[in-house]
Structure 1
């Protein structure tokens, strides 16, 4: 069984052979500071990239948050939409039964209007009296 040789603390200290390579202690310290600066500069670049990424993520998150609110609003109104659909289908079924009882054509049956929205034609837009038109009044 062999044991790895661990260097002694005294062998880790700089020796005269390091200085004989032509570097003075101040030059060695300058090189160490340059390496330290390069390492800090890399960290700064990476932190800037992380900041850019998180900023883009934040923007995308805001878009997703707005979209999820819209989806939540739609889901909140589903019950009303299903109820309106049920009323339309029930009305259509009632019309179909009445048409079959009176033996008339059931081909072009449409459900009863559940929502009435006034629609202005281009020439009615200029006329303020036409804009206040209520279709419910004309059908009565």
Structure 2
């Protein structure tokens, strides 16, 4: 390769994907720590201002049907969820091949959280609390 030439596009694409995966792992780690410590001001800091939370309850657990937008409302929903499971611990783990968080008590996984990242902050959160979908996690 001569000076001044860019790397072939597959290498650039791979580098970009690795950088994105690293940002996502860092964001997940920060969110897991904040949830585990119940540090809600830290949760606010890791969320993008336009963040959206989608909760999959399957209609079996009380949860909003529509996506929840805005940091304050998302933190409120996470606080409510964590308050219902005060013994829950947030642990980083792969979810569908991506960095995620399992929220578990001494007996069961009570929620699985995945995120999307934009501008190094969490912009999308998907929280699965549907007992039918968590059955495989608890097997």
Q: Per residue, is there more strand in 1 or in 2? A: 2
Q: Which TM-score band (shorter chain)? A: under 0.3
TM-score, normalised via structure 1 length? 0.23
Q: Per residue, is there more helix in 1 or in 2? A: 1
Q: Which has the larger radius of gyration?
A: 1
TM-score, normalised via structure 2 length? 0.24
